[in-house]
């Protein structure tokens, strides 16, 4: 038997319906905030991701040569593609450009619960403006999405990668090696970060100071420890968020992010119940457009790990009842099959979701099948009732049955 590739999943109808339902909630929330949907290709020229995504993403890139010898990669994320799209065709549009997207991304990771090689992101980007108001808009949307899904146990942590980058540069880390150091700090691998920075000539005092900076965590009051303009900036951001009703945020200067392109504010949301793969959302401000041949444009965005947030919701018991169907039509014998086809078709045309037995099942089996398919009613088409112009309408929750004229059948469902 051929199996699906490692780290991928199939979604059966119940699961797919649940996913579409919650995806719809995210889409509605994004629209409610004035964002519009875009889509980009699932594969791009590898270069797009090599330019600035950083070592973490590169080692996981699904890259190959196509038949025309072009270097192609399946997208590991969608920020770079959206910015490329902006440079290619939207750069003259009035700013800011507020877009959202939903789709699969690919990373060659070691699969485990909450970590897949093909996974789905629901993300958004605000392109064309830098500032606390832009960052607040992005974080407020992320918070509203998480809330709209009904998740209770989560944390939003906000940091500023600019502060850390500056401190690392001041300590003497060469620019081209910043990513290596940030990678250690992201994972809090201090034991590995120390010798790495020592080798680059950073003093022990500076190293301690950098580690202390990444441990600057707490409520808004810790901002008094954040040096310079970044502290003022984050204070302004937090007060905007408060005004927008987002009060449950924490400050954490240890938020580093796994991608290389962030320049200022960075944030993450996590659902502690998920354990190791608890990060359900990540984002921040960045500039990428100048790398792709456009002007330098400031942007802020984030992406929710759709699969992960669904897992977190499942752990909290946030269920979803499949919609089922309004009616299941059962022809009692072969001679009424044409009439039954006419009836199911009239129901469908009237907007009533309806299915029909095409297996020729006996009544008990047909009713059982209908119940399994979540039918709220069965329309039983029998020769005897038809003679009087009627069918039997059965309420599947109570088992009550009554005769209804065929011509009035659709009305019963309004």
Interacting residue ranges for ligand HAM, rule: CB under 6 A: 77, 79, 107, 109, 115-116, 119, 121, 123, 125, 258-259, 279-284, 301-303, 305, 307-308
Residue 71 in 3-state DSSP? strand
Kindly state the smallest distance separating residue 295's Cβ from ligand HAM, in Å.
Answer: 19
Kindly state the smallest distance separating residue 25's Cβ from ligand HAM, in Å.
Answer: 17
Kindly state the smallest distance separating residue 72's Cβ from ligand HAM, in Å.
Answer: 19
Alpha-carbon gap, residue 145 to 156, rounded angstroms: 12
Nearer to ligand HAM by Cβ, of 76 and 382: the residue is: 76
Kindly state the smallest distance separating residue 84's Cβ from ligand HAM, in Å.
Answer: 13
DSSP alpha helix (H) spans, 187-289? 190-199, 204-214, 228-243
Nearer to ligand HAM by Cβ, of 54 and 193: the residue is: 54
Nearer to ligand HAM by Cβ, of 135 and 357: the residue is: 135
Alpha-carbon gap, residue 172 to 167, rounded angstroms: 9
- DSSP class of 83: H
- Which residue lies nearest ligand HAM, judged by its C-beta? 305
Nearer to ligand HAM by Cβ, of 302 and 328: the residue is: 302
Nearer to ligand HAM by Cβ, of 125 and 252: the residue is: 125
How many C-beta neighbours within 10 Å does residue 400 have?
9
Alpha-carbon gap, residue 305 to 231, rounded angstroms: 29
Q: Report the candidate in 166, 136, 168, 333 with the shortest Cα–Cα distance to residue 237.
A: 136
Nearer to ligand HAM by Cβ, of 282 and 331: the residue is: 282
DSSP 105-168: EE-----BTTB-SEEEEEEEEEES--SHHHHHHHHHHHHHHHHHHT--S-EEEEEEHHHHHHHH
Token pair in block for residue 111: 């699969």
Kindly state the smallest distance separating residue 88's Cβ from ligand HAM, in Å.
Answer: 18
Alpha-carbon gap, residue 78 to 72, rounded angstroms: 15
Kindly state the smallest distance separating residue 144's Cβ from ligand HAM, in Å.
Answer: 16
């Amino acid at each position: 038997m051929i199996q699906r590739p490692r780290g991928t999943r199939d979604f059966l109808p119940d699961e797919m319906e649940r996913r579409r339902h919650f995806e719809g909630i995210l889409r509605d929330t994004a629209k409610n905030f004035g964002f519009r949907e875009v889509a980009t290709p699932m594969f791009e020229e590898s270069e797009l991701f090599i330019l600035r995504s950083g070592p973490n993403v590169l080692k996981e890139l699904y890259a190959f040569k196509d038949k025309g010898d072009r270097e192609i990669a399946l997208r590991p994320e969608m920020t770079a593609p959206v910015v490329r799209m902006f440079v290619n065709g939207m750069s003259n549009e009035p700013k800011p450009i507020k877009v959202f997207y939903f789709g699969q991304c690919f990373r060659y990771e070691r699969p485990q619960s909450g970590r897949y090689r093909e996974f789905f992101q629901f993300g958004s980007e605000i392109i064309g403006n830098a500032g606390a108001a832009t960052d607040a808009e992005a974080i407020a949307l992320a918070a509203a999405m998480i809330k709209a899904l009904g998740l209770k146990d989560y944390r939003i942590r906000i940091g500023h990668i600019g502060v850390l980058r500056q401190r690392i540069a001041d300590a003497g880390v060469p620019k081209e090696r910043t990513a290596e150091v940030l990678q250690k700090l992201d994972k809090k691998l201090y034991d590995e970060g120390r010798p790495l920075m020592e080798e680059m000539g950073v003093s022990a005092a500076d190293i301690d100071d950098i580690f202390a900076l990444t441990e600057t965590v707490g409520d808004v009051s810790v901002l008094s420890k954040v040096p310079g303009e970044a502290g003022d900036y984050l204070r302004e951001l937090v007060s905007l968020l408060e005004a927008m009703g987002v009060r449950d945020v924490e400050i954490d200067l240890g938020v580093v992010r796994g991608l290389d392109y962030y320049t200022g504010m960075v944030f993450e949301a996590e659902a502690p119940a998920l354990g190791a793969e608890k990060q359900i959302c990540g984002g921040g401000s960045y500039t990428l457009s100048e790398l792709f041949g456009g002007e330098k444009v400031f942007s802020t965005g984030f992406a929710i790990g759709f699969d992960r947030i669904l897992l977190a919701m499942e752990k909290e018991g946030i269920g979803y009842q499949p919609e089922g169907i309004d009616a299941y039509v059962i022809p009692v014998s072969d001679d009424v099959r044409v009439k039954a086809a006419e009836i199911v078709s009239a129901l469908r045309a009237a907007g009533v979701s309806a299915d029909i037995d095409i297996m020729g099942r006996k009544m008990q089996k047909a009713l059982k099948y209908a119940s399994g398919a979540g039918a709220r009613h069965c329309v039983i088409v029998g020769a005897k009732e038809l003679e009087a112009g009627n069918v039997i309408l059965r309420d599947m929750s109570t088992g009550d049955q009554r005769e209804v004229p065929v011509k009035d059948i659709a009305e019963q469902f309004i």
